[in-house]
Structure 1
């Protein structure tokens, strides 16, 4: 299998000269890895590297577009400190993406920024929610009609512990494997799910197919074991970027990570034909949204 990890020696949160090879690789579903691009914590922020800063009933800590912190424990001072740290990461992540991918700049929709202080290995989840199984991102309640999911991650583990992923096959390879066994799309079922408010909007055939890929991958333990894949330890003090709706990935271990999600209409890509929507439309032979 051709390498799905592209290592880049950047040391600043900006790209002075956009590189078309990096852009093409990212839009092909590969992971861009910046091993020397560290998010620098302030001395006072070292105290925030503690699972106890997360509210017990929250999965992650997140900062919304208005600068409001959610999912955090502690008093006002600690919550303001968390908001400042996560907000600074958001600014740096946006600087990186805007200069790495200048065509995207005015087309991106910024989603909340998250801080994940918990240890991956200790999370108890159902098989569908278990991100230790290889998958592509798709969400049952939030149809997106092909909108891309671009994520920027940084490992801020203070003890040098890597965040370990498995990175699998190219998207089209995955799609060709799992689509023949996918359940067919049924329009009335999609309408019923919307009427019952199971989904926030009408689930398109594209969204249905993406969920079938997600669940098919996670539910096939033989595939999890035998599929072409690499184990990738993302070092503490590093950054990586991928389209998580396209890159086949599993999160195996690690603790203390921040992540910025950005959404992009597929027609705004440098090569719209490389998007999952375009690939699945071609494989299906008819429009999916």
Structure 2
């Protein structure tokens, strides 16, 4: 069996504050190139009262995440008394606000363009979670969603390991997106005529699935189904220690979550045209490789 090529895409920064009065980074080019930005000394600090939420019992068992959904701000996926749920929501909302201030300091070019997506707290342990191979996030993949077509919109995510027992968040990261696309594009067929209209109208998708979404889903599925690639493809293990924050375009960087428990996550949406370098996006990369517009 061939040993995997080591991937080196993690870049560390010494930031210690979430506030927008910290150093303006201007690292759009770094993250748009498919790098992972890591901040080992930037914890999301829980109050003494909030530490009680570091327990799986607060999840309702129906979803892997407890989340606050925007723009309404409703709490979902949690179980507990009204008072406890109000405190839990306050903690998650604070993470959303701090993440947004931090992202705008990192990426001044995105100011006024980033849109806040869901904010999540993940209390469950990754290990031992039973799921289908398509939903198995311990396999290297780029993010793509069957029911929620992104139509090219970027997925920027800010994660933080809030584990208080010393457990790292164990990731694997994989090959550059362009290499990954070249690996599987020859085996990806075009969508059936009329399929996007049908899926939207019978409620399978929330909006129209473009050919871009079709290709991204196939890249996601091909990678997860390819066990040889999972074992021998270019990759590296990355451990994010407790108190570490990391930022990544999860629709571009191949990643797999191998272990850990208790994590915060904030999603932001960004249109391709609002990137500093739109040509680096998965949409533009796939269009160059396929020599056609993916609409």
Name the counterpart of 1:143. Answer: 149
Is 2:12 the counterpart of 1:7? Answer: yes
Name the counterpart of 1:270. Answer: 276
Name the counterpart of 2:3. Answer: none
User: Residue 109 of structure 1: CA displacement?
Assistant: 1.4
Name the counterpart of 1:33. Answer: 38
Contact residue 8 and residue 35 of structure 1 kept, 8 A:
yes
Equivalent positions of 1:229-244 (< 5 A) are 229-244=235-250
Is 2:162 the counterpart of 1:156? Answer: yes
User: For the residues of structure 2 that align with 1:111 and 1:274, how far apart are their CA atoms?
Assistant: 22
RMSD: 1.3
Contact residue 63 and residue 113 of structure 1 kept, 8 A:
yes
Residue by residue over 1:151-190, the C-alpha shift from the partner in whole angstroms, topping out at 9 and shown as x without a partner, is: 0000000101000000001100100001111122223222
User: Residue 14 of structure 1: CA displacement?
Assistant: 4.1
Is 2:193 the counterpart of 1:180? Answer: no
Which of 262, 284, 288 is residue 256 of structure 1 equivalent to? Answer: 262
Residue by residue over 1:75-97, the C-alpha shift from the partner in whole angstroms, topping out at 9 and shown as x without a partner, is: 01110110111111111101110
User: Residue 102 of structure 1: CA displacement?
Assistant: 1.3
Is 2:78 the counterpart of 1:72? Answer: yes
| Unaligned ranges ≥5, structure 2 | 1-5
Contact residue 14 and residue 100 of structure 1 kept, 8 A:
no
- Secondary structure of the structure 2 residue equivalent to 1:86: helix
Is 2:137 the counterpart of 1:131? Answer: yes
Is 2:108 the counterpart of 1:98? Answer: no
> Structure 1 pair 57/19, CA: closer, same or farther in 2 (3 Å)?
closer
- Tell which deviates more after alignment, 163-172 or 194-203: 194-203
User: Residue 17 of structure 1: CA displacement?
Assistant: 4.2
| Unaligned ranges ≥5, structure 1 | none
- Tell which deviates more after alignment, 269-278 or 1-10: 1-10
User: For the residues of structure 1 that align with 2:210 and 2:198, how far apart are their CA atoms?
Assistant: 13
Is 2:142 the counterpart of 1:116? Answer: no
Contact residue 36 and residue 237 of structure 1 kept, 8 A:
yes
Is 2:91 the counterpart of 1:85? Answer: yes
Contact residue 164 and residue 231 of structure 1 kept, 8 A:
yes
Name the counterpart of 1:283. Answer: 289
User: For the residues of structure 2 that align with 1:17 and 1:273, how far apart are their CA atoms?
Assistant: 27
User: For the residues of structure 1 that align with 2:221 and 2:65, how far apart are their CA atoms?
Assistant: 23
- Tell which deviates more after alignment, 129-138 or 201-210: 201-210
User: Residue 272 of structure 1: CA displacement?
Assistant: 0.5
User: For the residues of structure 2 that align with 1:199 and 1:44, how far apart are their CA atoms?
Assistant: 40
User: For the residues of structure 2 that align with 1:154 and 1:84, how far apart are their CA atoms?
Assistant: 17
User: For the residues of structure 2 that align with 1:18 and 1:276, how far apart are their CA atoms?
Assistant: 26
The structure that is helix-richer by fraction is 1
Residue by residue over 1:30-56, the C-alpha shift from the partner in whole angstroms, topping out at 9 and shown as x without a partner, is: 110100101111011111111101112
Contact residue 7 and residue 173 of structure 2 kept, 8 A:
no
Give the TM-score of the pair, scaled to structure 2: 0.94
Contact residue 113 and residue 259 of structure 1 kept, 8 A:
yes
Which of 48, 68, 90 is residue 53 of structure 2 equivalent to? Answer: 48
